[in-house]
Structure 1
């Protein structure tokens, strides 16, 4: 029978990203504070679309989309549109209007991303 004491195990250094502020996007946010249009913009941010394609999709100006994005970030205490897009994906079921079982969601589900316009396919006009 071996009676040697257990050897000390060296633990790896802490992950370098552990010191970076990470948004807790799983925490329920006050999504009810968003207007219907802000919710639409947030869902489209979750698909990875830029401001101009979102504007065209919703039939509003790009400047209005920018104002909605700013409002969304402020109301939900987010730092960037990336955090907003991640939140849209994680909280999709709370954002997307209820649907009947026969309807499919055209929102931010992973399967739906293949149907979004390819980058550069939308002609920019100035």
Structure 2
């Protein structure tokens, strides 16, 4: 049995991060992008890099630049950064966590913040997954 507190090799951390990101976060990002498009916003999900970062970019039709929610790995520190950027005021919010922070509760909370603070919207699929009073 391995020590759960022991750091992983860089390669193992990167592999687990990539697998978790694509299995858990990508479907939620795609669903949020669909909801955004249904609300009249321009939304796109993409990945880049190695290990991959996952990014949801959202903009109003009249906006030149996009607000975004990006999940990226810090392999040196073996942590995950959840980054929200709001184009309207140029602010960035970062939440750091372990691999276990790539879960529906954290992602839904970040997505809700992006759409509430950036666009004054509530995502119907996020609201449906959480009981009244959750936020």
Task: Work out whether the TM-score is over 0.5.
Answer: no
Greater helix share, structure number: 1
| Larger RCO: 1 or 2 (CA < 8 Å, sep 6+) | 1
TM-score range, shorter chain: under 0.3
Asked which structure has the greater CA Rg, the reply is 1
Q: TM-score, normalised by structure 1?
A: 0.28
Greater strand share, structure number: 2
